[in-house]
Amino acid sequence: MTSLFDPYRLGSLTLPNRIVMAPMTRARATPDGLPTASFAAYYAQRATAGLIVSEGIWPSPQAQSNPNTPGLFRDDQVAAWREVTHAVHASGGRIFAQLQHAGRVGHPEISGHIPVAPSAVALEAQLFTGKGMSPAPVPRALSTDEVAHEVEAYVQAARRAIQAGFDGVELHGANGYLIQQFLSSNVNRRTDAYGGSIPGRVRFAAEVARGAAEAIGAERVGLRLSPGAHIWNIEEQDVPELYAALLAELAPLGLAYIHLTATADEALLLSLRQRWPGTLIVNPSNLMETSATDKAAGERWLSWGADLISFGRAYLANPDLVERLRSDLPLTPADPETFYGGGDQGYLNYTSYQR
């Protein structure tokens, strides 16, 4: 039986185990989107993971979703991220950059730009802007020609990620952000080639993946998906057909992996496993619930055909998570008050297990 601690070959990378550190927003970058020295220490502490996927990184100024989150579209950001990737590699780890475009989950007070989206449909939510909570504004609908510019933003950020020393990129197609907004049936009200039918709704995701694969090599590109998730008020019609069509478009590309979150029932997720010919990462934790992924859930999904298992919240307070899971050691609970923002408290002060 496959174990969490078996090695795995991912493209040109040999992963020492099948445990992935999931992307998690920590909101500790500088106001202008630079990762700090603390980033390098934080990720290096967790380098025993088979693979680390970074927190969401905005690929363009317009893409930012939260204050104090990092970007990857300027030379100084590339240089700052290079310090992070060097620290991870020096500690024996491997790290992908998650590229996250907020779409309508943004605010001018955060990014300095009116957010863009498939259609001018406002998010019915309050957003934290750094100056308090404010209603999400009505986004500007992208013209057909402008969609290509957003695809190119991902492509250029993927190139910069490789320049910064990342081993690859994960495109954030989940959790209600721009790629999933195009997949949706309530935010995407377009009547051009990027909307309406299922082939239209999957087109943007496929073009982003294809563009990134052509730019840096398909074996360096992954895609995270949350089928049927209602995060940030997303609705998706015909979820099984929608994601089957998307995977059919992506399969010929030879991507590094698909990363699924458990936002749909197990039967649907298992059907997507059968449709996807490549590496599958599963995060068994539903973001809409409070339970974190545990060892038993990870092993269950490995037995069901997943290749790698991602752990999110368990990694916040347990930098030595691999060893704790291997030895069945207790996990330290994380302090929710320090999940986002602030300094090194709740970020670098968690230590390895003390026997």
Residue 177 falls in the annotated catalytic set: yes
Which amino acid is it at 313? R
C-alpha angle 82/220/20, rounded to 5°? 80
Residues 283, 222: Cα–Cα separation, whole Å: 14
Strand partners, 71: 58
Helices (H), the chain: 37-45, 75-90, 108-111, 144-163, 178-183, 198-216, 239-250, 266-275, 295-303, 313-316, 321-326
- Tokens linked to 188: 């995407």
Instruction: Please pick, among 8, 43, 154, 177, the residue that the annotation labels catalytic.
Output: 177
Residues 69, 78: Cα–Cα separation, whole Å: 14
Strand partners, 14: 9
- Tokens linked to 261: 């979150």
Residues 6 or more apart from 81 whose CB is under 8 A from it?
A: 35, 70, 72, 97, 161, 164, 165, 166
Cα distances from 202 to residues 286, 303, 343, in angstroms, run 23, 30, 40
143-159 burial: b if 16+ Cβ within 10 Å, else e: eeeebeebbbbbbbbbb
- Tokens linked to 112: 């300095």
Indicate which residues carry an active-site annotation. 177
